[in-house]
Structure 1
Amino acid sequence: MTYTTVLWDLDGTIVDSAPGIFESFIHTFTTLGLPVPPVDEMRSFMGPPLPVTFGEILGFEPALAAECLNVYREKYLRGGGAQNCQLFPGVVDLVERNRDAGRANSLATSKGLSGVEVIGEMFGILDLFDVLGTASNDQTRSAKKDVVTYALDELQKQGADLTRTVLIGDRIHDVEGAREHGIDVILVKWGYGNQSEWAEADALAETPEHLAELLGL
């Protein structure tokens, strides 16, 4: 299908950020004297907003969750965690091809703006997006549905054609955010999702080349 606007998740879709995120979680738990979960469990932390991870998934009391959040951010933003990542091969080329085809691009990520800027500037990709749809640094906007709302509102202000919009992501949170807005969602299989999450998507992309076909590029 040919889409007029594409919303792009970041972690697990464009960037393999798992090494730096795991590093930052391990640092957080170790610093605060908390048990370090196994890597398989930490994979479930990839995708949800950090307040959800510390508060709902791990069940920490608000004070401890807030402390974890502060330690994590310090490590991730200023301790090298954000830079410990790499681009998934071929995906940035698709973002660029989508732009060159005259379609709108926006990020739609639950990662905070500061982290997105660190990664985006490192790889020189920020100018590929018409809107940086991110979580706010203060986490007042962090749920995927709220990030998508922000991205769509900003795109509308720019006069983007939103008649056929799709969200490209890798986790169930991307599906849920897209469903809130009645837009299609394609999950990529090179990210951090699993079979049950993939089953909820409108389509699955096996490879970047397959994603190009799904996007009509």
Structure 2
Amino acid sequence: MKFNSIIFDLDGTLVDSASGILTSLGHAAELTGITPARALTPDIIGPPLTDTLRALFPHADAATLAKVTAAFKQHYDTEGCLHSQPFEGIPELLKMLNAAGCAVFIATNKRQFPTHRIISHLNWNSHFVAVYSPDSIHPHADSKGKLLRHILEKHGLASDATLYVGDRYDDYEAAKFSGLAFAFATWGFGAADALVPQECERLETTESLRHLVLTL
């Protein structure tokens, strides 16, 4: 087996969460009476919530951003997150990785509460050794790269035998920061991300990921 540990991003890699996130963002904007600076499209999904809201509402003051944040969390944590659906082939892939003895983790910018709601809703708890969000460690991780380093250290993973799979340039940067091989999930929200180097492993399907991970 080429890699004995694999760490997945969540949004845009394992699950299509766009519908729930965008609906909750729209609800929050409407509730607070402000208009996003750009269209609510899937390519905005991926960065931490604070960064996303600052990009959508660049002229909002701190008080307004706090209201938007609270409105989004209330809607998303109770309703929006449950609209997340696995991408085609992901449930089968997770089962195959488990059967092969691969240690599987999640490292996501999504907050801990909705992340665990999604995992539980999909009945995926048994697939993962651990699931990490920035707010699931102390002090909180201020970058995904630091979150990945925490996972490596906490679980004693060898960086040369661990793969990180994500769908955005930010994921590539996090893997590079942590000394990990990176595979680019082209089915995700950052599929057109021209910043991801061409030499990165590009995954067109979950079958190509299975082959990459499990082939000797």
Distance across 2 between alignment mates of 1:67 and 1:201: 42
Superposed CA deviations along residues 117-158 of structure 1, whole A, max 9, x for unmatched, are 1111111002211111222179933521132123223322xx
Whether 2:187 is the aligned partner of 1:168: answer no
> In structure 2, the residue corresponding to 1:7 is in which secondary structure?
strand
> In structure 1, the residue corresponding to 2:104 is in which secondary structure?
strand
Superposed CA deviations along residues 9-35 of structure 1, whole A, max 9, x for unmatched, are 111111100000000000011011011
Q: Tell me what 2:54 maps to.
A: 55
Contact 1:130 1:155 in 2 (8 A): no
TM-score, normalised to structure 2's length?
Answer: 0.88
Q: Tell me what 2:203 maps to.
A: 205
Superposed CA deviations along residues 150-186 of structure 1, whole A, max 9, x for unmatched, are 3223322xxx454411101101111111111111111
User: Which consecutive residues of structure 2, in runs of 5 or more, have no partner in the other structure?
Assistant: none
Percent of paired sites with the same residue: 25
User: Which consecutive residues of structure 1, in runs of 5 or more, have no partner in the other structure?
Assistant: none
Distance across 2 between alignment mates of 1:35 and 1:209: 41
Cα distance change, pair 199–166 in 1 and its aligned pair in 2 (3 A): same
Q: For residues 36-75 of structure 1, what are the structure 2 equivalents within 5 Å?
A: 36=36, 39=39, 41-56=40-55, 58-59=57-58, 60-75=60-75
Q: Tell me what 1:97 maps to.
A: 96
TM-score, normalised to structure 1's length?
Answer: 0.88
User: How many residues matched?
Assistant: 212
Distance across 1 between alignment mates of 2:32 and 2:100: 49
Distance across 2 between alignment mates of 1:181 and 1:153: 11
Q: Tell me what 2:184 maps to.
A: 187
Distance across 1 between alignment mates of 2:143 and 2:166: 14
Contact 1:131 1:154 in 2 (8 A): no
Distance across 1 between alignment mates of 2:91 and 2:199: 22
Distance across 2 between alignment mates of 1:143 and 1:67: 24
Distance across 1 between alignment mates of 2:42 and 2:48: 13
Q: Tell me what 1:9 maps to.
A: 9
CA-atom RMSD in angstroms: 2.3
Moved more, 93-102 or 130-139: 130-139
Contact 2:187 2:204 in 1 (8 A): yes
Distance across 1 between alignment mates of 2:197 and 2:159: 25
Q: Tell me what 1:18 maps to.
A: 18
